[in-house]
């Protein structure tokens, strides 16, 4: 399963699990997915969504998006988007 996140910047981020790691990429992007541990997912989401982690509100948004994605994907089988 792939989760689609929409940041306040309007960026749509696709997130999925690959075993015990998470993968994320900007929807419609041509770059390869970024692979990370769950604890680092907020940083990857912030980068892909162009959120500024030095800004408290944007940092909180990145954390909330990552937490939501992890929760939704935690009990599902791993899979790549098609």
Residue 43 near residue 62, CB atoms below 8 Å = yes
The whole-number pLDDT of residue 74 equals 84
The whole-number pLDDT of residue 82 equals 52
For 25, phi and psi rounded to 5 degrees?
-155, 160
pTM of the predicted protein model: 0.87
The upper half-sphere exposure of residue 53, i.e. CA atoms within 13 Å in the direction of its Cβ, equals: 11
Per-residue pLDDT of the chain (82 residues; tens, 9 = 90+): 899 999 999 999 999 998 889 999 999 988 999 999 999 999 999 999 999 999 999 999 999 999 999 999 987 655 555 5
How far is residue 56's CA from residue 82's CA, in Å, rounded to a whole number?
Answer: 35
The whole-number pLDDT of residue 19 equals 85
Q: Two tokens at 75?
A: 């009990």
The whole-number pLDDT of residue 78 equals 52
């Amino acid at each position: 399963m792939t989760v689609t996140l929409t940041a306040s910047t309007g960026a749509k981020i696709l997130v999925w699990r690959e075993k015990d790691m998470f993968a994320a990429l900007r929807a419609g992007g041509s770059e390869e997915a970024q692979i990370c541990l769950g604890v680092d997912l907020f940083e990857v989401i912030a980068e892909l969504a162009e959120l500024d982690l030095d800004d408290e509100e944007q940092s909180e948004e990145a954390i909330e998006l990552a937490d939501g994605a992890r929760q939704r994907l935690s009990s599902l089988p791993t899979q790549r988007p098609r």
